[in-house]
Copies of this chain bind each other. A is one copy, B any other.
Amino acid sequence: MAKRQAVAVGVTDDACCASVLAAPLSESDATELARLFAALADPVRLRLLSLVAATDEVCSCTLEGPLAKSQPTISHHTKALADAGLIVGEKRGRWMWWRVVPDRLAALRDAIS
């Protein structure tokens, strides 16, 4: 509810996501929204997201174990979630630390409200 119709087409995460229920979606809005939902449309990514949400910050090396996937696969999924703006990563030393972006999740939630 902070930001509303800025209608920026850019991939830059800004005033995201027109509402699905308010009025018929334009093709571009629908495409953008679908991209975000697609980020959540994978079991591994959902579990990854829940693991990151469980703590304030999580290292990629911590994820490889619980998710039972190879390192490239973990990297692939973190990138997918980051591209969607749902998590952000910060590299400190050798480690990559991830944390969720609550606003982004809220925006997605608003899209189906």
Assembly stoichiometry (copies): 2
Of the stretches A8-16, A24-32, A90-98, the one at the interface is: A24-32
- A24 in contact with B41 given A112-B105, A112-B108 (CB within 8 Å): no
Interface pair A46/B24, CB less than 8 Å apart: no
Chain B residues positioned under 8 Å from A105 (CB to CB) = 21, 112
Number of A residues with CB within 8 Å of any CB on chain B: 34
Interface pair B40/A37, CB less than 8 Å apart: yes
Q: A22, A24, A108: which has the most chain B beta carbons within 10 Å?
A: A24
- A50 in contact with B34 given A41-B41, A109-B112, A109-B113 (CB within 8 Å): no
- A30 in contact with B51 given A112-B108, A113-B109 (CB within 8 Å): no
